[in-house]
Amino acid sequence: MDSVLSWWDSVEEWLTGLPFVPQLLVTLVVVIPLATVIALAVNFLVRRLVALVSRRDVGDDHGLGI
């Protein structure tokens, strides 16, 4: 874990040392797509969890739920 934290600290130091425009470009190219992928994964997991928890009764013919 210490190696990961050390690596992250060096990345932060490198990024904050950049001028504004390169920081903006790194954010647009790396951070936004990564955050989008994480958000999609969380959305998928929440949908699966809700589908698992809110199972309808077998005799539900009208489709409105209980």
Q: Alpha-carbon distance 63 to 29, whole Å?
A: 44
Q: Which two tokens stand for residue 20?
A: 């504004």
- Tell me the pLDDT of the chain averaged across its residues: 87
Are the C-beta atoms of 60 and 66 separated by less than 8 Å?
Answer: yes
- Summarised one tens digit per residue, pLDDT across range 3-18 is 999 999 999 999 999 9
Query: Which whole number is the average pLDDT over 35-60?
Result: 85
Q: 61 falls in which pLDDT band (50, 70, 90)?
A: low
Burial of residue 15, with CB atoms counted within 10 A of its CB: 0-12 exposed, 13-18 middle, 19 or more buried: middle
Confidence category of residue 54, pLDDT binned at 50, 70, 90? confident
